[in-house]
Amino acid sequence: MKRGSKRTFLLVAVTLVALIVPIVAASAQRGAAPAGNPNPPTSPVTGNAANGKALYFANTCYGCHGYNGETGRAFVGNWSANLATEENFIRFLRGRANVAPVQPSTSMPNFPENSVSDKQAKDIYAYIRTFKSNAPELKDIPTLNQIIKGASRPYKP
């Protein structure tokens, strides 16, 4: 390789790394829900969970929150103050509907009342509150235990 082509190659490689690293770092955090209260809320629920399930899918909530609230921007294990009560949930849906905050705190779409009524929001909330963790205990994942066991052995080149 000629000297000029080595320099060009190095410049291209450094540029690619500089562009790719921030993208990978951002995408690694995109699906993660912020750490919240691991305990589900216990406030009263007045909505209908069966209707809420249909609305959850009709409004494509599952696209970000998963089919069971455990994936993507999860609810289960991250019960935020926005999910503590029906009122908080509706306030969260509406609070951003007509106001563009200086610094958005979420990438969730806005749901004004003409898009999702209060009754529908309560139904969706009732469905969300049915979500339970289906994650197995770590001790019950055989492949993970094999990896940990193998990693704990001394390295022999």
The domain limits of the chain are 49-138
Looking at residue 46, its pLDDT comes to: 97
Distance from C-alpha of 50 to C-alpha of 124, rounded to nearest angstrom? 9
State which fold the 49-138 domain adopts: Cytochrome Bc1 Complex; Chain D, domain 2 (1.10.760)
Specify the pTM.
0.63
C-alpha–C-alpha distance, residues 129 and 49, integer Å: 8
- Paired strand residues for 37: 79
Give the pLDDT confidence of 114-154 residue by residue, as tens digits: 999 999 999 999 999 999 877 778 888 889 889 988 888 88
Residue 64 phi, psi dihedral angles, 5° rounding: -110, -35
Grade residue 92 by pLDDT with cuts at 50, 70 and 90: confident
> Which of 5-9, 55-59, 80-84 has the highest mean predicted lDDT (pLDDT)?
55-59
